[in-house]
Structure 1
Amino acid sequence: MQKPIVIFMEYKVKEESTETYLTKMKKVIEEMEALEAGPVEWYEAADQKGLYVEMIEVSSMKQYEYIKERRSDPADAAFGGLLPLLEKGTAGMNCWAFSRLNKK
Protein backbone atom coordinates (compact mmCIF):
# COMPACT_ATOMS: atom_id res chain seq x y z
CA MET A 1 0.00 0.00 0.00
CA GLN A 2 1.34 3.40 -0.99
CA LYS A 3 1.80 5.99 1.74
CA PRO A 4 -0.16 9.19 1.29
CA ILE A 5 1.72 12.16 -0.11
CA VAL A 6 1.64 15.48 1.72
CA ILE A 7 1.82 18.52 -0.56
CA PHE A 8 3.22 21.79 0.72
CA MET A 9 2.57 24.89 -1.38
CA GLU A 10 4.39 28.04 -0.32
CA TYR A 11 4.24 31.53 -1.79
CA LYS A 12 4.35 35.21 -0.93
CA VAL A 13 1.39 37.43 -1.83
CA LYS A 14 1.90 41.04 -2.91
CA GLU A 15 0.87 43.30 -0.05
CA GLU A 16 -1.57 45.24 -2.25
CA SER A 17 -3.20 41.96 -3.34
CA THR A 18 -3.90 40.53 0.12
CA GLU A 19 -7.67 41.17 0.22
CA THR A 20 -8.19 39.78 -3.28
CA TYR A 21 -6.08 36.74 -2.38
CA LEU A 22 -8.06 36.04 0.80
CA THR A 23 -11.31 36.21 -1.17
CA LYS A 24 -10.05 33.96 -3.99
CA MET A 25 -8.70 31.36 -1.55
CA LYS A 26 -12.21 30.36 -0.47
CA LYS A 27 -12.89 29.12 -4.01
CA VAL A 28 -9.41 27.61 -4.34
CA ILE A 29 -9.95 25.53 -1.21
CA GLU A 30 -13.32 24.32 -2.49
CA GLU A 31 -11.74 23.36 -5.82
CA MET A 32 -8.84 21.55 -4.14
CA GLU A 33 -11.21 19.50 -2.03
CA ALA A 34 -13.27 18.73 -5.16
CA LEU A 35 -10.11 17.14 -6.61
CA GLU A 36 -10.38 14.53 -3.84
CA ALA A 37 -7.44 15.97 -2.00
CA GLY A 38 -7.66 15.84 1.76
CA PRO A 39 -8.75 18.91 3.69
CA VAL A 40 -6.62 21.95 2.92
CA GLU A 41 -4.69 23.24 5.91
CA TRP A 42 -3.94 26.91 5.24
CA TYR A 43 -1.34 28.91 7.15
CA GLU A 44 -0.06 32.47 7.23
CA ALA A 45 3.47 33.05 8.51
CA ALA A 46 3.55 34.62 11.95
CA ASP A 47 6.90 36.27 11.26
CA GLN A 48 6.76 37.14 7.52
CA LYS A 49 3.87 39.27 6.30
CA GLY A 50 2.26 37.90 3.15
CA LEU A 51 3.86 34.43 3.30
CA TYR A 52 1.37 31.56 3.08
CA VAL A 53 1.56 27.77 3.11
CA GLU A 54 -1.07 25.23 2.16
CA MET A 55 -0.80 21.61 3.25
CA ILE A 56 -2.87 18.97 1.46
CA GLU A 57 -2.75 15.19 1.65
CA VAL A 58 -3.21 13.20 -1.56
CA SER A 59 -3.17 9.50 -2.33
CA SER A 60 -0.43 9.32 -4.97
CA MET A 61 2.41 11.06 -6.76
CA LYS A 62 0.22 11.09 -9.86
CA GLN A 63 -2.37 13.17 -8.01
CA TYR A 64 0.40 15.45 -6.69
CA GLU A 65 1.75 16.03 -10.23
CA TYR A 66 -1.75 16.79 -11.50
CA ILE A 67 -2.40 19.34 -8.73
CA LYS A 68 1.05 20.90 -9.12
CA GLU A 69 0.50 21.32 -12.87
CA ARG A 70 -2.93 22.88 -12.42
CA ARG A 71 -1.88 25.22 -9.63
CA SER A 72 1.02 26.59 -11.70
CA ASP A 73 -0.99 27.08 -14.91
CA PRO A 74 -1.99 30.74 -15.42
CA ALA A 75 -4.76 29.61 -17.80
CA ASP A 76 -6.40 27.28 -15.26
CA ALA A 77 -9.91 28.62 -14.57
CA ALA A 78 -9.93 27.51 -10.93
CA PHE A 79 -6.37 28.31 -9.86
CA GLY A 80 -4.69 30.60 -12.41
CA GLY A 81 -6.17 33.75 -10.89
CA LEU A 82 -3.93 33.45 -7.83
CA LEU A 83 -0.67 33.59 -9.75
CA PRO A 84 -0.74 37.33 -10.63
CA LEU A 85 -1.24 38.05 -6.92
CA LEU A 86 2.10 36.46 -6.00
CA GLU A 87 5.28 38.48 -5.66
CA LYS A 88 7.05 36.36 -8.26
CA GLY A 89 4.02 35.27 -10.25
CA THR A 90 4.15 31.65 -11.42
CA ALA A 91 7.80 31.37 -10.33
CA GLY A 92 6.71 32.25 -6.79
CA MET A 93 4.49 29.17 -6.39
CA ASN A 94 6.67 26.60 -4.64
CA CYS A 95 5.25 23.09 -4.46
CA TRP A 96 6.78 20.05 -2.77
CA ALA A 97 5.70 16.46 -2.10
CA PHE A 98 6.62 14.66 1.13
CA SER A 99 6.01 11.22 2.61
CA ARG A 100 5.29 11.09 6.34
CA LEU A 101 7.83 9.23 8.41
CA ASN A 102 6.21 9.32 11.84
CA LYS A 103 2.54 8.62 11.12
CA LYS A 104 0.91 5.47 9.81
Structure 2
Amino acid sequence: NDTRALLALIPQLLPRIWRDEQRYQKGGVMLADFTPAGMQQGDLFAGVQHSPRSEALMQVIDKINQGRLGKVYFAARGRDTREWMMKQEHLSPRYTTSLDELPSAK
Protein backbone atom coordinates (compact mmCIF):
# COMPACT_ATOMS: atom_id res chain seq x y z
CA ASN A 1 0.00 0.00 0.00
CA ASP A 2 2.99 2.29 -0.54
CA THR A 3 3.34 3.84 -3.98
CA ARG A 4 7.01 4.53 -3.32
CA ALA A 5 7.68 0.80 -2.92
CA LEU A 6 6.04 0.12 -6.30
CA LEU A 7 7.98 2.93 -7.99
CA ALA A 8 11.25 1.55 -6.59
CA LEU A 9 10.64 -1.72 -8.50
CA ILE A 10 10.26 -0.05 -11.91
CA PRO A 11 14.00 0.31 -12.74
CA GLN A 12 14.51 -3.40 -12.08
CA LEU A 13 11.41 -4.74 -13.81
CA LEU A 14 10.83 -2.46 -16.81
CA PRO A 15 14.04 -3.40 -18.70
CA ARG A 16 12.98 -7.06 -18.46
CA ILE A 17 9.70 -6.52 -20.31
CA TRP A 18 10.40 -3.50 -22.56
CA ARG A 19 10.84 -4.20 -26.29
CA ASP A 20 11.87 -1.30 -28.56
CA GLU A 21 10.05 -2.75 -31.58
CA GLN A 22 6.70 -2.98 -29.69
CA ARG A 23 4.01 -0.30 -29.69
CA TYR A 24 2.64 0.34 -26.21
CA GLN A 25 -0.66 1.77 -25.02
CA LYS A 26 -1.31 3.37 -21.66
CA GLY A 27 -3.31 1.13 -19.36
CA GLY A 28 -4.57 0.83 -15.82
CA VAL A 29 -4.36 -1.68 -13.05
CA MET A 30 -7.21 -2.88 -10.87
CA LEU A 31 -6.37 -4.41 -7.50
CA ALA A 32 -8.53 -6.78 -5.48
CA ASP A 33 -8.46 -9.16 -2.52
CA PHE A 34 -7.33 -6.58 0.03
CA THR A 35 -6.57 -7.45 3.64
CA PRO A 36 -6.29 -5.03 6.56
CA ALA A 37 -2.71 -3.87 7.17
CA GLY A 38 -2.76 -5.32 10.71
CA MET A 39 -3.54 -8.80 9.41
CA GLN A 40 -0.71 -9.07 6.88
CA GLN A 41 2.19 -11.44 7.41
CA GLY A 42 5.43 -9.54 7.92
CA ASP A 43 8.66 -10.37 6.09
CA LEU A 44 11.33 -11.46 8.54
CA PHE A 45 14.08 -11.15 5.93
CA ALA A 46 13.09 -7.81 4.42
CA GLY A 47 15.85 -5.22 4.41
CA VAL A 48 13.46 -2.39 5.17
CA GLN A 49 10.50 -2.90 7.48
CA HIS A 50 7.17 -1.12 7.04
CA SER A 51 7.19 2.27 8.72
CA PRO A 52 4.15 3.84 10.43
CA ARG A 53 5.28 7.17 8.95
CA SER A 54 5.02 5.66 5.48
CA GLU A 55 1.40 4.72 6.07
CA ALA A 56 0.65 8.23 7.37
CA LEU A 57 2.30 9.78 4.29
CA MET A 58 0.24 7.65 1.91
CA GLN A 59 -2.96 8.58 3.76
CA VAL A 60 -2.15 12.29 3.39
CA ILE A 61 -1.39 11.88 -0.32
CA ASP A 62 -4.64 9.94 -0.84
CA LYS A 63 -6.63 12.62 0.98
CA ILE A 64 -5.10 15.40 -1.13
CA ASN A 65 -5.72 13.51 -4.38
CA GLN A 66 -9.37 12.89 -3.48
CA GLY A 67 -9.96 16.60 -2.93
CA ARG A 68 -10.77 19.25 -5.49
CA LEU A 69 -7.79 21.56 -4.99
CA GLY A 70 -5.18 19.59 -6.92
CA LYS A 71 -3.18 16.42 -7.17
CA VAL A 72 0.14 15.23 -5.78
CA TYR A 73 2.42 13.21 -8.06
CA PHE A 74 5.68 11.43 -7.39
CA ALA A 75 8.77 12.79 -9.14
CA ALA A 76 9.42 9.37 -10.69
CA ARG A 77 6.34 9.92 -12.81
CA GLY A 78 8.16 12.73 -14.56
CA ARG A 79 6.69 15.65 -16.40
CA ASP A 80 5.15 15.28 -19.78
CA THR A 81 6.57 18.20 -21.76
CA ARG A 82 4.05 17.75 -24.58
CA GLU A 83 1.07 20.04 -24.44
CA TRP A 84 -2.18 18.11 -24.03
CA MET A 85 -4.33 18.16 -27.15
CA MET A 86 -7.89 16.91 -27.54
CA LYS A 87 -8.55 14.37 -30.30
CA GLN A 88 -10.38 16.37 -32.94
CA GLU A 89 -11.19 13.86 -35.68
CA HIS A 90 -14.94 13.92 -34.99
CA LEU A 91 -15.69 17.51 -34.03
CA SER A 92 -19.17 18.88 -34.47
CA PRO A 93 -19.56 21.86 -36.82
CA ARG A 94 -19.31 25.30 -35.17
CA TYR A 95 -22.21 26.99 -36.97
CA THR A 96 -22.98 29.35 -34.11
CA THR A 97 -19.42 30.43 -33.36
CA SER A 98 -17.58 30.41 -36.72
CA LEU A 99 -18.87 32.20 -39.80
CA ASP A 100 -16.43 30.21 -41.95
CA GLU A 101 -18.28 27.01 -41.09
CA LEU A 102 -21.77 28.40 -41.66
CA PRO A 103 -23.49 26.28 -44.33
CA SER A 104 -24.70 28.13 -47.39
CA ALA A 105 -27.53 27.25 -49.76
CA LYS A 106 -26.74 28.00 -53.39
Per the TM superposition, whether the score is higher than 0.5 is no
Which structure is richer in relative contact order (CA contacts within 8 A, separation 6 or more)? 1
TM-score bracket for the superposition, by shorter chain length: under 0.3
Structure 2-normalised TM-score?
Answer: 0.22
Structure 1-normalised TM-score?
Answer: 0.22
Larger fraction in strand:
1
Structure with max Cα Rg? 2
